[in-house]
Amino acid sequence: MILRPQWRSWLVRGGYALSLFGGVLTLQLAGALLGLDALVSGFVIPGLLLALVVAVYTAFLFAQARGRDFWQSPLLPVHMIVHSLMAGAAMFILLDGAGLVSIGGQLTTLFVAAIAANLIVLAIELYITHPTADAKAVVKMILHGQYRQEFWTVVLACNALPALALYLDPTNAITQVLAAVLVLWGIYRLEKIWIEAPQRIALA
């Protein structure tokens, strides 16, 4: 895949983005360890751009599976970005809890905002877009069918509840850590649903 690349495929593009991103991070890590600040700061902008690609390329990769109607949603890239923001914020909160970094109140605000944005994106994805029958069938599976329980658990326990708790008590360290763990778990479960459910539709 890497050595005989087929450039139109997002698998290849994503593969390269991941490799380059990994390279940038490695360099920055080396810079930090060796005290070469220029190396760290010099790669911030390329690192950010690559991080963006790494966060969303899966959406384009899925969209290339033309038979899977649910993945054709124009909101899928937004969905991915929002999830990456949530996951990133959650990780920093956990690192903060472990005393490895120190975060300001703004990150918690961003975290709550990202969760809120996620709920809005989910609502639009599930209630507004998706014109085809196959996509509708997936929506039905998620909201009312076999994924119903898991989906609503994720929405309530891994999105609404942490957001609400942090909104009411943004500085409590225990709340922060619990919220971060729940959100990470929620992302994992939700993406699993997003990957699995559309593939349950028989194509022939």
Partner 1 sequence: MPSIIEKLAESIGLIPKLHHGEPLLDRLQPGSALTNYPPPEQWDNWTEYEAKAWPRREQKTYDIVPTTCFNCESACGLLAYVDKANGQVRKFEGNPYHPGSRGRNCAKGPATINQINDPDRILYPLKRDGKRGDGKWTRVSWDEALDDIAGRIRKALQEKRHNEIAYHVGRPGHEGYMDRVLQSWGIDGHNSHTNICSSGARFGYAIWHGHDRPSPDHAHARVILLISAHLESGHYFNPHAQRIIEGKMNGAKLVVMDPRLSNTASLADHWLPTYPGSEAAVLLAMAQVIIDAGLYNREYLENWVNWQQWLETEFPGEAVVFENFIEKMRAAYADYTPEFAEKESGVKAAVIREVAIEIGKAGTRFATHNWRSAGSGNLGGWAVARCLHFLNVLTGSVGTEGGTSPNDWNKFHPTFFDKPPAQKFWNELHFPKEYPLAFFEMSFLLPHFLKDKRGRMDTYFTRVFNPVWTYPDGFMWMEALSDEEAVGCHIALTPTWSETAYFADYVLPMGLASERHDLNSYETHSGTWIAFRQPVLREVARRQGKDPQFTYEVNPGEVWEEDEFWIQLSWRIDPDGSLGIKKHFESPYRPGECVTVDEYYQYIFEHTKGLPETAAKEGLSALEYMRKYGAYVVEESEYKKNEYAIDAKALEGAVTDPKTGVITKNGKAIGVEVQGKACVGFPTPSRKQEFFSPTMIDWKWPEYKIPTYLKSHIHPDEIDYEKGEFPLLPTFRLPVLIHSRSGNAKWLYEIANRNPIWMHPSDAARLGVDTGSLVRVYTEIGHFVDKVWVTEGMKPGVLACSHHLGRWRRPQDAPGNRWATATVNIQADGKGGYSMKTMRGIEPFKSTDKDSARIFWSDGGVHQNITFPVHPDPISGMHCWHQKVRLEKAHDTDQYGDIFVDTNKSMEVYRKWLAMARPAPGPDNLRRPLWMKRALRPVDEAFYF
Q: Which is nearer to partner 1, 3 or 203 (CB)?
A: 3
Rg of the chain, C-alpha, whole Å:
19
CB of 77 to partner 1, least distance (A): 26
DSSP state of 144: T
Contact 134, 201 (CB under 8 A): yes
Query: 153-185: buried (b, 16+ CB within 10 Å) or exposed (e) per residue?
Result: ebbeebbebbbebbeeeeeeeebbbbbbbbbbe
CB of 201 to partner 1, least distance (A): 16
* Amino acid, single-letter form, for residue 150: E
Q: Is 4 in the site for partner 1 (CB under 8 A)?
A: yes
| Contact letters for partner 1, residues 98-127 (x by CB under 8 A) | ------------------------------
Question: Is residue 165 classed as helix, strand or coil in its secondary structure?
Answer: helix
| Contact letters for partner 1, residues 5-44 (x by CB under 8 A) | x-x-------------------------------------
Our CA angle for 79, 89, 153, nearest 5°, is 60
Nearest to 89 by CA among 106, 69, 71: 106
In sequence order, the 6+-apart residues with CB closer than 8 A to the CB of 23 are: none
- Using CB under 8 A as the binding criterion, the count of chain residues that bind partner 1 stands at 5
CB of 202 to partner 1, least distance (A): 12
* Amino acid, single-letter form, for residue 135: A
Region near partner 1 per CB under 8 A, out of 1-9, 45-53, 96-104, 187-195? 1-9
Q: Which is nearer to partner 1, 109 or 146 (CB)?
A: 146
CB of 5 to partner 1, least distance (A): 6
Region near partner 1 per CB under 8 A, out of 2-10, 117-125, 130-138, 166-174? 2-10
Contacts to partner 1 by CB under 8 A = 2-5, 7
